[in-house]
Amino acid sequence: AQTVTQSQPEMSVQEAETVTLSCTYDTSESDYYLFWYKQPPSRQMILVIRQEAYKQQNATENRFSVNFQKAAKSFSLKISDSQLGDAAMYFCAYRSPRGGSNYKLTFGKGTLLTVNP
Amino acid sequence: DTAVSQTPKYLVTQMGNDKSIKCEQNLGHDTMYWYKQDSKKFLKIMFSYNNKELIINETVPNRFSPKSPDKAHLNLHINSLELGDSAVYFCASSQLTRDTEAFFGQGTRLTVV
């Protein structure tokens, strides 16, 4: 079974600075999808960024980028120029493209990010 | 226009009661899910449906019964509620092609007293 590990329960960053959230996963598959979701205090789950394992290029969405290291099974999220609105719980998630595991996301336990003004 | 909407947003009820949470998506997706988020914020799949067919039932007690009347709706009925059922329940949907993510509803905070 796939597992997703976020080793940082909490992180803090100063406004305008850069922070990196860590995520590692365990899988025997070569093709899969990885996601970062953000959950602000409003409780809504919001997709931040996604990465397909077959793509070597790291995904980027404005101030958010990932460092995808397939051999190391690592998928970290970098937030540049942090803003107060970035404060939230961040979840790393994995999805397999086949079989029963195609029909679910496996989540890490989350990292609570605080942004200090 | 909300993509995935679930009702109610908050639900407070007594132990032993039966309650339902409704979910609707207007994205035309073929797959819908129920996730449970516990008090430690851990998210875990409960059920997934593809084209109204149950695909995943992740060791959820029989007191939980999902129903999908059509591809756009997935409801969750819970019988004989227990204190341990208190959690946030999220509905989500996705289209299972290569490049799509799951879209989540706002969540339903269920409190059993």
B43:A107 CB<8 A: yes
- Band of pLDDT at residue A2, cut at 50, 70 and 90: confident
Instruction: Return the pLDDT at A100.
Output: 65
Residues B69-103, buried b or exposed e (16+ Cβ, 10 A)? Answer: eebbbbbbebeebeeebbbbbbbbbbebeeebbbb
Over residues B3-22, mean pLDDT: 97
Q: What is the mean pLDDT of chain A?
A: 94
Residue B106, Cβ neighbours under 10 Å: how many?
18
Q: What's B63's DSSP letter? A: T
The single-letter code of the amino acid at A50 is R
pLDDT of B98 strictly over 60: no
Which residue of chain B has the CA closest to A34?
A: B101
Q: Give the CATH superfamily of B4-79+87-112.
A: Immunoglobulins (2.60.40.10)
**Placement of tokens 């959230």 in the chain:** A21
Nearest C-alpha of chain A: how many angstroms from B93? 10
Q: What would the pLDDT profile of B55-81 be if each residue is shown by its tens digit?
A: 888 888 999 999 999 999 999 999 999
- Cβ contacts of B50 on chain A, cutoff 8 Å: 103
Percentage of the residues of chain B whose pLDDT score is greater than 70: 96
Q: Mean pLDDT over residues A29-52, rounded?
A: 94
Nearest chain B alpha carbon to A45: B104
The CATH homologous superfamily of the domain defined by A3-116: Immunoglobulins (2.60.40.10)
3-state DSSP assignment of residue B57 = strand
- The CA distance from A99 to A32, in Å, is 12
Q: Is the Cα dihedral B14, B15, B19, B22 positive or negative? A: positive
* pLDDT value, residue B1: 67
Chain B residues with beta carbon closer than 8 angstroms to that of A100:
55-56
Chain A residues with CB under 8 Å of B4 CB are none
DSSP one-letter string for A59-74: PEETTEEEEEETTTTE
Contact B33 A103 (CB under 8 A): yes
pLDDT at residue B52, rounded to an integer: 86
Domain chopping of chain B, boundaries: 4-79+87-112
Mean pLDDT of the A9-27 span: 97
Say if residue A103's pLDDT is above 90.
no
Mean pLDDT of all residues in A44-59? 93
Question: Is residue A104 predicted with pLDDT exceeding 90?
Answer: no
Distances in whole angstroms, Cα of residue A36 to Cα of each of A53, A65, B89: 14, 10, 19
